[in-house]
Homo-oligomer: A and B are copies of this chain.
């Protein structure tokens, strides 16, 4: 649970210009010098219309779970942008700059991108893919994870365990406040999919947006588990986008949210 000040209120209070007068991007700059960063500080930016959208609940956070931020989480203040890629949520925030251009930080250009799958490192450098705004990840896509069974979990097969169902568990998440509407599990390589129970621990905000992941579970017969070579999960969000069956490779391996397999 984060606590902070709405970014849009702070920007309004500071008298942010209109788009017409050049306020197109809101850049955030942290205090950190990172290795290999070309000498610049960690920084990134978001579009003005995103920054000023009250439905997005973007805050300058100074507390987490009722206590001041710890140093690891960005003390004294960091940005929280619900439903966005974590790379935009700058820690140890020092400056907010409103500009016509996007952030010029090395990290903004060199990270948090999804390139087409033919783009390798040489091509990304040669053809300037790093500077293509269409490749930046802002709102996250739909994804889901299996947490039970967990790695190296052992289920003894005996008369006690086989008389009870085994409960598969995990979580699912979509960006932009989109509700996860459905989670399905397959134990036969995608031939059939079983519908899981989905538990939303939060209420939506007053604009109908969901910011937290939700939890899914599915009771299966232990004897069915024995026959399964693989368990895979996929989620669907309220726009009925779902996860591809096969991994779609891209240079930074970001956003490649395939079905999660165990």
Residues of A within 8 A of B (CB): 19, 47, 49-50, 53, 55, 114, 116-118, 134-135, 137-142, 175-176, 181-182, 184, 192-195, 206-208, 236, 238-242, 244-246, 248, 255
Contact = CB atoms under 8 A, between A and B. Distances in A.
A141 B206 CA distance: 23
Q: Is the interface of A mostly helix, strand, loop or mixed?
A: loop
12 contacts: A49-B206, A49-B207, A50-B208, A114-B240, A116-B182, A116-B184, A116-B193, A117-B193, A134-B182, A141-B240, A239-B241, A244-B245
Report copies per complex. Answer: 2
Contact of A118 (B117, B192, B244, B255): B192
A164 B2 CA distance: 59
Q: Looking at A134, A184, A206, which has the most chain B CB atoms within 10 Å of its CB? A: A134
A21 to B, nearest CB: 14
A231 to B, nearest CB: 17
A238 B207 contact: no
Contacts of A240: 114, 137, 140-141, 255
Contacts of A181: 134-135
Contacts of A117: 192-193
Please name the 5 residue pairs, one residue from A and one from B, whose CB atoms are nearest each other, closest first. Answer: A241-B241, A49-B208, A139-B239, A240-B255, A141-B240
A243 to B, nearest CB: 8
Contact of A245 (B134, B142, B241, B245): B245
Given A117-B192, A141-B240, 20 more contacts: A19-B206, A47-B208, A49-B208, A50-B208, A55-B55, A114-B240, A116-B184, A116-B195, A118-B192, A118-B195, A137-B240, A138-B239, A139-B238, A139-B239, A141-B239, A141-B241, A142-B241, A176-B239, A240-B255, A242-B244
Contacts of A184: 116
A41 to B, nearest CB: 27
Contacts of A141: 239-241
A42 B159 CA distance: 56
